[in-house]
Structure 1
Amino acid sequence: MKNSTRRVRRIVALTGAAIIAASGLAACAGDGGSGGGGGSADGTVTVVTLPAAFSAPVWLGVEQGFFEDEGLTVKTTMVPNAAAGVPLLSSGQAQFGFGNIIPFVLARTNGVPLSFVAGSTATVATDGDDTDCAASKTGGSINTAADLEGGSIAVPALKAAPELVVRAWLKAAGADGDKIDFVQLAPDAALQAIDKGDIDASYLFEPWCTMAAAQGYHIFDYPASKAVPGLPDGTVAATEDYLSKNPEQAAAFQRAFKKSVEYTKAHPDEARAIVGEELDVPADVLADLHLGDWTPDVTAGNVDQAAALLMDFGWIDEAPNADDMIFSGS
């Protein structure tokens, strides 16, 4: 194993106002801000990661030297949600960004020309095996989606993938999402808010689901597996400007990343260990961490699935051309 180190790991801590501002920029970039063409002559690229298990392939890929083998030096910047990473891509501060497929399709329809370079994970149709969950207070009154009517649920980002997945789950369960308050809170803050009685439940993703279960919270359902099985919840996107100006560098990244996904799939213990290292997950929790379905590709069919979901809830009026959103590489 190559002893390649993460040369830069910069965690961007955004306040609630900053997250909302970043999400607004991603959603309202109707001026077609198409920056992001800035590749590096020395092979250095910046990747926006999220505090989620599906970021594991980039961390493992750096550690294993897969990117170095392709002549790339990877720097990482962590943000709290994918919408907050879109402005970094469109401004050229980062070349690649992690996130659920939803915010990238949403950004595309709002004037930010993003395309998918690779996949990471997809939702699993089996309860308990997926990488997301709904948590409430053990012994409380929230045990089903329908129980949330008249109450509140926290999501990591509003008008983004977490809210949309929860709304789809509520609809599938026959619950009225318009009778539920959605509150934007980071996972740790959401669990504290449940303790205080400020909210009734929270939508979480790994490693937070496993940590919440270990801390005694009630994991009462798995929204994505119920509502959107097979939807990519971990993808990597880049701007069309960057991809058109740096096709060879982008293809090199794609090859290295897909190799990283396959390595991650084949070495789950290493994946869990690196998630624990990067996200400070307690060692006694890691063994139970759900890693999802490692999937290195994003297809036009995936884009159509995401667009249909967005249109179903009136978030977009027209689907983007799915084929235009797939970077073929080489």
Structure 2
Amino acid sequence: MKTLGIRGSVAAAAAAGLLVLTSCGGGEEGPAEGDDAAQDGSLTQVSVGVIPIVDVAPIYLGAQEGIFEEHGLELDLTLAQGGAAIIPAVQSGDFDFGFSNITSLVIGQSQGLPLQLVAPGPQTTGNVGEDFSSLLVPEDSDAESIADLEGQSVAVNTLNNINDTVLKEGLTQAGGDAEAMNLVEVAFPDMGGQLESGNVDAIMAVEPFATLAKDAGAREIYSPYAEPIEDLMIAGYFASTDRIEEDPELVDSFVAAMKESQQYAEDNPEEAKEILPEYSEIDPEIIDSLNMPRFPQEINVESTERIIELSEQTGLIDEVIDVNDLVRDDS
């Protein structure tokens, strides 16, 4: 097993102990590209912007297991707070690839940003009550379902992203008025405290923050990734169209390694949990309790199309975009 090297700058840890910025990689950088580089032993460094959540465990696991080296790549992974920082960094060329939720990519594409989804990220487990995202209320709340949150305040980590989309669709399916839900932007590490203090009526938290909130007494009333959209793919890895056009072999190598890493994480869920301390400071005592996502090998086009439709219906984009413009054709 390849040992993951850690390098780069480290910013202050968040309240739940997640690192804000760090890098990791291994091997030696070489001038050759992609799988061709693997044949002569040299490695091409690729920079990837990711987020310090369980969703990106496969890319770290793939680096540790030497999957990317087998494809001639040395990963330089940089953790950021979210896609709002990653998308412009990919556009500017600071990152070769980035990780982002699907809604943010849909919005970017609709605004003419030159980017495409190239590899899949996490997908819902489809198991209500056992997914990696939860809609939570205080233990003594009168709310029993998402329908009870019409007119209530709900914390999401970032406005105008996939969490808005699934919550509004969930409330609509429950017969409520999606526009009557008051979404409030609160960073994941702060959500538990805001819920306990009564500043919000509910929170939509992903792991590990969902488990932390539950351990503190919060109660789940809805599984926002598992329920409103079948087989929802929440996020994925993307590149600028310039990168895709200028260096298709490099992109092919990254995609192939990413798919293998996703499959490895899917087949070895305990190892996916064990890699979390490599890029986060999640309390080891709760790692075993976390609900991990599924890690598919292929981009879920149907799920992505549904996100596009809902983004238009809720006003996040002006008109429906063609999913084929957003998703790279790797056939």
TM-score by length of 1: 0.85
Residue correspondence of structure 1 range 286-301 to structure 2 within 5 A:
286-301=287-302
Query: Which residue is 1:31 aligned to?
Result: none
Aligned mates of 2:72, 2:227 — CA distance in 1: 41
Partner of 1:320, secondary structure, is: coil
Q: Aligned-pair distance for 1:243?
A: 0.8
Tell me, yes or no, if the aligned pair for 1:81 and 1:156 is still in contact at 8 Å.
Answer: no
Query: Which residue is 2:241 aligned to?
Result: 240
Partner of 2:199, secondary structure, is: coil
Classify 1:64/1:70 alpha carbon distance in 2 versus 1 (closer, same or farther; 3 Å): same
Aligned mates of 1:246, 1:11 — CA distance in 2: 32
Query: Which residue is 1:2 aligned to?
Result: 2
Aligned mates of 2:242, 2:173 — CA distance in 1: 38
Partner of 1:227, secondary structure, is: coil
Q: Aligned-pair distance for 1:11?
A: 5.8
Query: Which residue is 1:303 aligned to?
Result: 304
Query: Which residue is 1:54 aligned to?
Result: 55
> In the alignment, does 2:182 pair up with 1:181?
yes
Q: Aligned-pair distance for 1:215?
A: 2.4
Query: Which residue is 1:255 aligned to?
Result: 256
Aligned mates of 1:58, 1:189 — CA distance in 2: 26
Aligned mates of 1:187, 1:253 — CA distance in 2: 29
Report % sequence identity. Answer: 27
Q: Aligned-pair distance for 1:10?
A: 5.4
Tell me, yes or no, if the aligned pair for 2:145 and 2:222 is still in contact at 8 Å.
Answer: yes
Query: Which residue is 2:129 aligned to?
Result: 128
2:85 partner letter:
A
Query: Which residue is 1:113 aligned to?
Result: 114
Segment of structure 1 superposing worse, 207-216 or 161-170 = 207-216
- Paired positions, count: 306
Note the aligned Cα RMSD (angstroms): 2.3
1:70 partner letter:
H
Residue correspondence of structure 1 range 19-98 to structure 2 within 5 A:
43-98=44-99
2:241 partner letter:
E
Query: Which residue is 1:139 aligned to?
Result: 140
TM-score by length of 2: 0.85
Aligned mates of 2:315, 2:99 — CA distance in 1: 24
Query: Which residue is 1:36 aligned to?
Result: none
Classify 1:250/1:8 alpha carbon distance in 2 versus 1 (closer, same or farther; 3 Å): farther
Aligned mates of 1:11, 1:235 — CA distance in 2: 25
Tell me, yes or no, if the aligned pair for 1:124 and 1:225 is still in contact at 8 Å.
Answer: yes
Tell me, yes or no, if the aligned pair for 1:231 and 1:305 is still in contact at 8 Å.
Answer: no
Tell me, yes or no, if the aligned pair for 2:124 and 2:131 is still in contact at 8 Å.
Answer: yes
Tell me, yes or no, if the aligned pair for 1:154 and 1:185 is still in contact at 8 Å.
Answer: yes
Unaligned segments of structure 2, at least 5 residues: 15-30, 34-42
Segment of structure 1 superposing worse, 292-301 or 257-266 = 292-301
Aligned mates of 2:68, 2:10 — CA distance in 1: 19
1:94 partner letter:
F
Q: Aligned-pair distance for 1:142?
A: 3.0
Unaligned segments of structure 1, at least 5 residues: 15-38
Aligned mates of 1:232, 1:279 — CA distance in 2: 23
2:176 partner letter:
A
Aligned mates of 1:136, 1:100 — CA distance in 2: 24
Query: Which residue is 1:316 aligned to?
Result: 317
Aligned mates of 1:238, 1:107 — CA distance in 2: 12
Query: Which residue is 1:198 aligned to?
Result: 199
Q: Aligned-pair distance for 1:140?
A: 2.2
Aligned mates of 2:180, 2:147 — CA distance in 1: 10
Partner of 1:121, secondary structure, is: coil
Aligned mates of 1:124, 1:53 — CA distance in 2: 13
Query: Which residue is 2:231 aligned to?
Result: 230
Segment of structure 1 superposing worse, 265-274 or 220-229 = 220-229
Query: Which residue is 2:280 aligned to?
Result: 279
Classify 1:249/1:124 alpha carbon distance in 2 versus 1 (closer, same or farther; 3 Å): same
Cα deviation digits, residues 85-105 of structure 1 (max 9, x gap)? 211111111111112222112
Aligned mates of 1:51, 1:141 — CA distance in 2: 33
Aligned mates of 2:9, 2:301 — CA distance in 1: 32
Classify 1:122/1:93 alpha carbon distance in 2 versus 1 (closer, same or farther; 3 Å): same
Q: Aligned-pair distance for 1:216?
A: 2.0
Aligned mates of 2:280, 2:211 — CA distance in 1: 13
Query: Which residue is 1:211 aligned to?
Result: 212
Tell me, yes or no, if the aligned pair for 2:51 and 2:80 is still in contact at 8 Å.
Answer: yes
Q: Aligned-pair distance for 1:143?
A: 2.8
Large movers: runs of 4+ above 6 Å:
39-42
